[in-house]
Amino acid sequence: MATTNVPPDAPGVPSNPNDKDFKKPKDEDFKKPVSWLLGPQLIASLKWTALYIAFKNKLDPRDWMQANIHCFDEQQRLHAAANADEFWFDYFADTGDGQRAMYSIAYMCLSDLWVEAPAALNSVVAFNKQNMASPTHLLRGEFLFVGGDTSYHIADYATVSKRFQAPFHWAFGDLKEAGKVTDDDPRRPLFGLPGNHDYYDVIDGFNRQFRKPTSPENEANQEGLPPQLSIPGFQRCQQASYVAIQLPFGWWFWGLDNEVDRLDIRQQEFFKRIGKGHPPKLIVATPEPTTVLGKLAKSDDKVAQAFKDLNLRRPFLHDGFLLEGECRLDLSGDTHHYARYWGPDATVREDADSSTVVRSDAPSASNYASVVSGLGGAFFHPSHTGVHEVAEQVLYPSPETSRRAVAARLFNPWHLISGGYVALLGASVAAIIYFAAAIPKSSRDVVDALLQRLGITAAPATFLNQHFPDVKGPTSELLTRAGFTLPATVWHLILLTLSVVFVVMSVRYSKKMVELSQKEEAEFRAASFRVVALLVAAIGCLLAGVWKLVEYRDSLSPFKSSLLILFFTLWAITALVASMIYAEWLAKQAREKEVSKRDYWPVWTLIILALIILCAGIFLFGKYPVVYHFSDVIFALITLGGAASLIVLAVIVGGESQAVVGKIGFAMLGAWHALLQLAVVFLLVRIGSPVAWALAVGVVLVFAFIGNQLARRGWRWAL
């Protein structure tokens, strides 16, 4: 890099290799992996992650790109003379996490390797051929392809520079000092495709890292600035977030960018055009695997849809079968372990250890394989979990190794406490529960009633209660008398539930109404009548339910009144969300047909309904001091919302790959988890003595030991 004439404070100037950022730190000064338990990097990235989730279909930079084809002819190949019948390339994905791991990966990509012959799974691989009888030379790849998620948590400029670029400079410097590389070595092409962590930055960092610069890698541009994020030993060649590489021997390498919904039209046309008339020998890299965790893909999955758009066969949907004369490899990262599905039967050396597992019952194929290779240095995903619809030919690490590693991390209390700010979040939740359970009379009486039902005598009120204003009215009959009779309660729930159902149905019919607006007027009027009738019914049910509640308003305790205010607030938010969803749907309809002002009246109706509901809840039930209502609402959100979140997360995340029965099982696990979390906090903060707190710490340590042992042995139900 020529940076001698560049002012040190020039905007956008990457660090000079001689600067401190590219001086290899001491081992203890390597940046550690990012924290996922509400770590500072994760918190800092939440804004961009939320923007991506909200607008990812709107912010699609691919349509402005013009991709290029990179060809490897005999003159461009580094090892053509020595290995005329071989072509090597390097691939990794999910990189730029801990600097030590990234340094190791970079060192390997810049080095030649040797393996004991005959090469097989679990063979010894080394950086030199000493002490090897007849070593096989594993050449550096002709190019390096990064398969997505260049850095964590967001692959923006700063993160890519620190966690991806800098380790490459350190590795190159060490190899240069050892005499294994020089500055005069030809630069190899560097390619990549973006994953979801690249898109959180709207692929700005990805663009700077992988797009061909305006000047050669070691020269300044017309402004006197060196190329940004240049990697020693490599040159950037691609012009888009997707790329086609023509390989020797009739092979092609396609890198697809289908992270944002479906493939855009220009990308589809690019690959369809170059795919005509070429032998069907193809390597396809995608941001997500075609087959993962032993689960067969569905025809409507994002990756499967991309293959359909390009008229490529989808053997991963069924049995891995390809027609004779075709050969293809599907390659991806995203899941952070190694797995190969189909492909040739694997063999293991006799001295193999247990780090890699080979399945004898796995299906094989002579001309197709799906490979997951997400071992670029990020945290590792367990390999012992899966759906078992299709077995892996090769899996690394083995389920036993994976189970031991996960158990060691999961059942280490200090790791959970120090892994981010999740401990601070837990402490905040506990403090809120303690405050609500011990100080305000409204929520404290509810907790007392719950404890009495369990036969537990609650601790006396503290002196802090004097700072809360006194309240009149019943306060402690939540469980003994609901404030109104049971039939009335059921009646209220029915009315309010019907109001929700009617609103949802009105939104559905209003969409149908817009579809009919360009057709017969009679059908349009009929649909409009249904919408109006449903909204009137919804408002009527809501008013009837509110009227019945108002009858018992004077007998409601502060806590019950606060719950009703919370309910009405959530109900108003639901109406607003419904109006936003409907407005978004109308915007999509406007692309195909004309949408008039009258089509928007359900949006305004829902907004007005939300305002009426919110004001009614506050006006009718906000009769106690604001401090009580505020405290009770926060308390209810923490307890009820926290419990619901644990159940929903268990179903959505834990049961993602499960069928209905499996999702129900995860829901039960989430409910049990929520009960344990809340019960422990309630008991400790309300009746806990120093002995109880010490006992709780002891229980945690005992459970950590027992849980570790059960997890290592795979006794899931016992765990």
SS (H, E, C) 100-151: HHHHHHHHHHCCCEEECCCCCECCCEECCCCCCCCCEEECCCCCEEECCCCC
DSSP state of 211: B
In this structure, how many other beta carbons lie within 10 angstroms of the beta carbon of residue 556?
23
Residues 139, 473: Cα–Cα separation, whole Å: 82
Spatial distance between the Cα atoms of 59 and 54, rounded to a whole number of angstroms = 10
**What is the structure's pLDDT at 482?**
36
| CA dihedral sign of residues 380, 386, 392, 398 | positive
Q: Which residue's structure tokens are 């059921």?
A: 490
pLDDT value for 618: 85
Structure confidence at residue 242 (pLDDT): 94
Alpha carbons within 13 angstroms on the beta-carbon side of residue 246 total 14
**How large is the average pLDDT for residues 86-93?**
92
Q: How many CB atoms lie within 10 A of CB 388?
A: 9
What percent of the chain is modeled with pLDDT above 90? 27
Out of 106-115, 160-169, 476-485, least confident range: 476-485
HEC-encoded secondary structure of 357-405? EECCCCCCCCCEEEEEECCCCCCCCCCCCCCCCCCCCEEECCHHHHHHH
Name the more confident of 217 and 109: 109
What angle (nearest 5°) sits at the alpha carbon of residue 549, between those of residues 536 and 486?
110
511 in helix, strand or coil?
A: helix
Question: Which range, 160-164, 429-433, 537-541, 698-702, has the best average confidence (pLDDT)?
Answer: 160-164
Residue 460 has pLDDT above 70, yes or no: no
Q: What is the pLDDT of residue 64?
A: 81
Task: Give the pLDDT confidence score for residue 454 in this predicted structure.
Answer: 75
pLDDT computed for residue 589 by the predictor: 72
Per-residue pLDDT band at 564 (split at 50, 70, 90) = confident
Q: Across residues 630-647, what is the average pLDDT?
A: 89
% of residues, the chain, pLDDT over 70 = 79
Closest listed residue to residue 681, CA positions, set 696, 695, 667, 671: 696
Average pLDDT over residues 161-188: 91
Mean pLDDT on 177-195: 91
Token digits of residue 259: 């992270």
Q: Which of 135-149, 410-424, 576-590, 662-676 has the lowest mean pLDDT?
A: 576-590
| pLDDT (0 to 100) of residue 465 | 55
Residue 256: strand, helix, or coil: coil
Q: What is the C-alpha to C-alpha distance for residues 174 and 24, in angstroms, rounded to an integer?
A: 9
When pLDDT is cut at 50, 70 and 90, the band that residue 531 belongs to is low
Residues in the chain: 719
Element housing 84 (H / E): none
Alpha carbons 105 and 95: distance in angstroms, whole number: 9
For residue 394, the cross-strand partners are 340, 358
Mean pLDDT within 310-320: 91
- All residues at 6 or more sequence positions from 469 whose CB lies less than 8 Å from its CB, including other chains: 625, 627, 628
Q: In what order do the strands lie in the sheet with 251-255?
A: 69-71, 243-246, 251-255, 281-286, 327-332, 368-373, 338-342, 394-396, 357-358
Segment 465-473 shows an average pLDDT of: 54
Give the pLDDT of residue 99.
93
Residue 477: pLDDT over 60: no
Give the confidence band of 221 by pLDDT, cuts at 50, 70, 90.
confident
Whole-angstrom distance, CA of residue 647 vs CA of residue 644: 5
Structure tokens at 313: 């066969």
> Which pLDDT score is estimated for 103?
94
385's CB contacts (< 8 A; 6+ apart) are 293
**Is the pLDDT confidence value at 6 over 50?**
no
233-260 per-position pLDDT tens digit: 999 999 999 999 999 888 999 999 998 8
Asked whether residue 116 carries a pLDDT value surpassing 60, the answer given is yes
The pLDDT of 672-685, averaged and rounded, is 82
The whole-number pLDDT of residue 195 equals 93
**Pairwise CA distance, residues 340 & 690, whole Å:** 54
Report CA torsion sign: 228, 231, 236, 242.
Answer: negative
Q: How confident is the model at residue 476 (pLDDT cuts 50, 70, 90)?
A: very low
Instruction: Answer whether residue 716 shows pLDDT above 50.
Output: yes
* From 46-50, 139-143, 261-265, 454-458, the region with the lowest mean pLDDT: 454-458
On average, the pLDDT of the chain sits at 80
Q: How many CA atoms lie within 13 A of 37 on its CB side?
A: 16
- Which tens digit of pLDDT belongs to each residue from 350-385? 444 556 777 667 888 989 999 999 999 898 899 888
